Structure 1
Amino acid sequence: MQIIPTAGLKKDFYDAEEAIKKLKDASRWIQVDVCDGVFATGRTFDLDLMGKLDFETPNNLWDVHLMVKEPSTWVNKAIHIGASRVIGQVEMMSSREDFLEKIKNEGAEAGLAFDVDTEVDKIVGDWDIVLLMGRKAGFGYFEFEKKVLDKIKKIKDMGYIVGIDGGADTDNVKAIEEAGADIVYSEVNYWKLRNA
């Protein structure tokens, strides 16, 4: 199972920049969370600022998680900053097909994300990853909700790569892996999980 670090939900670009500096040599993939304050409380820095990093990241691949209203309208911004993978929250999409098409037309990987209380329905399309929130999306630390383990199994049975975002720690990561998760995203526990 792959452990991918996240730069986290940062309101200030300079905080995100510092987080990325610490992670850029530790992992090829780095997730950047984007929140507009509509889907989840709080807003993160403007995605356009990613082009202003004061250091080079030629070896990193950006995984951009859009927790925003109408993620399809943010795809161009994500691609502009060099995203290799763009994931959007299903709860905020008017058209999954439009979101998928926009990303695939740019040659990037596309993903769907489901919040912890959102039922996982039939998923249709050439999705590269299905991301399940392990706890309620947004700012703050909440424990992993065990009901997500059944969702992991359901998504794996559909044949998709499964990512878990939020709440993973050294006490539950084995159960998450045994349920079938392929990727765990973590900010707070990244170093512990990586060395577990």
Structure 2
Amino acid sequence: MIFAEYIARDRSIALEIFRHLGYQDWASDEDERVLNIGRTMKIGPEPHYMCWWRIKSMARMDGWEDYFRTAEGRRYAQTSPVPRAMNFYRCGMYDEIVGEGALPGGLHLVEFFAADETPAEALADWFRERARADGVGRLGHVIRRIGLSAPEPGGMAVWTFKTYLEAEPFLRRRPKGGPARLVDLGFYRNFGEDIA
């Protein structure tokens, strides 16, 4: 399961401070940060920044709330500069359809797609089939929202390329049919490497 944070930069905070704090200071043995990326060259829709956390189940949400009600959790919330520099304007809960570990370096193309009713196996097969074609990047992740717990269109796939030039054939190849309707895309880089 993926807990995705959608983040905007508070423009009253200097970019250097935002970049310093954007790596986030949260650490827990129960949470794995899968990706932390920023839209680059302003190509693509919101969100401008995303951070995804892999969690075992929905029970982790109860655990987080319980923690933030403790004295230690309240102290963390009061003293961490991260929520003061970053606007966590939306979060979402997703099933992980395809997951290949932490995101490597490179240029990430995020496809936003709609496929709420598609069986997970059919969705995974379709993306993996696309990944086998010539001239495509590395397929790292495919996630789909749980119910309506995340914004439209409800799904995201992350592909990694070395360069824009390497990504161009993929951009020009429009998939025909399939179980997902591609709605939008954006280019991202690992946090701090993006061109704001």
Q: TM-score, normalised to structure 1's length?
A: 0.28
What TM-score, normalized to structure 2? 0.28
Higher relative CO (Cα under 8 Å, sequence separation at least 6) belongs to 2
Structure with greater helix share of residues: 1
